[in-house]
Structure 1
Amino acid sequence: MNKRQTSLETTILIIELLKRIPKSWWITALELKQQLAEIGLDRDIHTIQRHMKSLVESNHFPIDMDDRSKPYGYRWNQQAVGFTVNSLSIQESLILQMAHKTLKNLLPSSLMDSMSGFFEEANRNISHTQDPTKEVQWLSKVVVAPETQPLLPPELNSGVFNQVSCALYNNCWLELTYRNAGGDVKEKSIMPLGLAQQGPRLYLVCRFKGYEDDRILALHRMISARSTSLSFERPIDFDLKQYSDDARFTFGEGRKVKLSFRIKKDAGLHILESRLSEDQTYREHEDCYEISASVVDSRQLEWWLNGFGEDAWGISYQAVDEEEAA
């Protein structure tokens, strides 16, 4: 390898390091190494540490180092503007800011951390712009309206989400201390299989070590979590989308039924517009709609129907043969 190629690779490595240094929290050399490996820049930890030490000691980049205990942490100085290769346009800033709100709990924390510089720049562009452009105004023109009583998200113990997403992303076993709904505290080794956001809450689908059945654990009930270096082969028989379609997150067992009921017209019009299923049919009567649809039976379905009170009646469930449903 000639000197020019070596110099170019070193320059690329330093640029990628600078892009991944956050401003709001400390990041370690090991975390930087892991993020670089994910984009194909696999370097040993001593190389990363050496470059970070040089960047901190230089006068070119306002980077702080927390050396009170090992491993050392790094972040941009609070007065620094961070580092980006290209400046984001106001349109790109708008898209990033909206994407961050939607994806922050659905992407691995390592990937979100690697994007932190872009999110911070997007926020600065939006908040510091002197021109009230149409793009900036757009943020005050759109909102996601709740379908049910809005609830605040439960608090997660520090570091739990990072460890869970890391184990899920890398297919590694997760050591967990968990408090169940009955208040009992358990220590388990689990195989993380999927992450689901339901309203304000996050749930992890997993398998306990030594068992083949799938379980759901709430992240806010996790007291502590630690991603191990022990990897596993992801089960080929597990499909997260099918798991969700079977109403597992809404207290169902995947049992298909033909649901029929009558509902007053003013209460049921929206069901004609937003159907329960592809095969939904209805008959219009003088005072009501008679609706029929194939759905997955669940407690949430029962709660939904009960929510109409006396406006819905004649409710019946007929089991659907699996071959017929397919």
Structure 2
Amino acid sequence: MPKKSSTQESLALAFEILKRIPKSHQITARQLHQHLQYIGIERDLRTIQRNLEMLCEHFDIIRDERSKPYGYRWNKSSEGMALPKLSAQEALLLSLAEEYLIKLLPVNITASLDGFFQEAKSKLSPTEGSSKEREWLKKVRVVSEAQSLLPPNISSEIFSSISEALYQDRLLTINYYNVKQESKSALVMPLGLAQQGQRLYLVCRFDGYDNERSIAIHRITKAHASTFNFERPKDFKLSQYDADGRFGFGEGQKCQLEFSITKRAGFHLTETALSTDQTITVKEDCYRVTATVTQSKQLERWLNGFEDQVWDIKFKEL
């Protein structure tokens, strides 16, 4: 294919910059530089700065020169090339997505969506008058069944490298420490990302092995995405990995679980079953529960949490 002319490339770059200049807040040249890198446009910072100087001369873009780095935004009264106007309902959807899904999106996509998220916040601000939608954010919440914990610290640079490697199917070099505080290093195939409570886990296959493991991302101290791609194992499915109880520290071994539980402690099992084949026999003072489950440390902890309200526990391997 013939190469694009320098004029075409310049126009394409200017267009991408214009699309990413917000109206409701300022953005710096360095931030634009990073956003463009996320979508595969490699230009040096000075090139972005020169383009911004030129665009300010020809478009209704305001440059805030009160302090460095300079901030850029569209004039609020300008039609410009701002993002499409969001409805209040779309702004509400985006705000909820940012709060609950942001950690499961590739970094390059979250960067490209940043303008939409900012516009959504602006749309739901008190000055816009979208009161019903704004109030809805205060009326809904995802709550934890366990003791609430603060999320562990995760380096944004490390997470960006992991996200890029996972998104591009590239090999990843990592340094990390295990639960025994032992430092390790490895070359891995990143295969999946999972959020469990406040923790994020990288599911990967270590170089030279044919099984998968999970590594808590906050335990990764260094990560570098290589330029080498890999072919994802055709026999791996993240959904099956989860179903096998691997995030509950199991090995996928199914068993038939049977136990007695007081009616007060076990009533919730009549509403939310342990499995599709769960059966409950109602006794005079308890329930006798039978279900096919995945054997794991998480299951053992769950049962132990009931203390003397659960008894006569039986496991039968299948």
TM above 0.5: yes
Distance change >3 Å, CA 192–CA 310, structure 1 → 2: same
Query: In the alignment, what sits opposite 1:58?
Result: 55
* Residue 160 of structure 2 is aligned to residue 165 of structure 1: no
Residues 84-115 of structure 1: CA deviation (Å, up to 9, x unaligned):
33211221111100011111110100000000
1:52 Cα deviation (Å)? 6.1
Query: In the alignment, what sits opposite 2:120?
Result: 122
1:211 Cα deviation (Å)? 2.1
Structure 2 contact 21–73 (Cα < 8 Å) conserved: no
Structure 1 contact 19–117 (Cα < 8 Å) conserved: no
Q: What secondary structure sits across from 1:303 in the alignment? A: helix
Letter matched to residue 163 of structure 2: S
1:256 Cα deviation (Å)? 0.4
Query: In the alignment, what sits opposite 1:87?
Result: 85
Q: What secondary structure sits across from 1:159 in the alignment? A: helix
Q: How many residues align?
A: 301
1:212 Cα deviation (Å)? 1.9
Q: What secondary structure sits across from 1:210 in the alignment? A: coil
Structure 1 contact 171–232 (Cα < 8 Å) conserved: yes
Could you tell me how far apart the structure 1 residues matched to 2:54 and 2:183 are?
46
Query: In the alignment, what sits opposite 2:107?
Result: 109
* Residue 81 of structure 2 is aligned to residue 77 of structure 1: no
Q: Map 1:201-280; keep pairs closer than 5 Å.
A: 201-280=199-278
1:19 Cα deviation (Å)? 3.1
Q: What secondary structure sits across from 1:58 in the alignment? A: helix
Residues 165-224 of structure 1: CA deviation (Å, up to 9, x unaligned):
000000001121212222222222211111110100001011222222212111101112
Q: TM-score, normalised by structure 1?
A: 0.82
Over the matched positions of the two proteins, sequence identity in percent amounts to 42
> Which 5+ residue runs of structure 1 have no aligned equivalent?
1-5, 38-42, 69-73, 321-326
Could you tell me how far apart the structure 2 residues matched to 1:250 and 1:33 are?
37
Residues 263-310 of structure 1: CA deviation (Å, up to 9, x unaligned):
111111111100001111111111111111100011111111111111
| CA-based RMSD | 3.1
Could you tell me how far apart the structure 2 residues matched to 1:112 and 1:234 are?
23
Q: What secondary structure sits across from 1:183 in the alignment? A: coil
Query: In the alignment, what sits opposite 1:18?
Result: 18
Structure 1 contact 19–114 (Cα < 8 Å) conserved: no
Could you tell me how far apart the structure 2 residues matched to 1:84 and 1:212 are?
48
Letter matched to residue 203 of structure 1: Y
Q: TM-score, normalised by structure 2?
A: 0.84
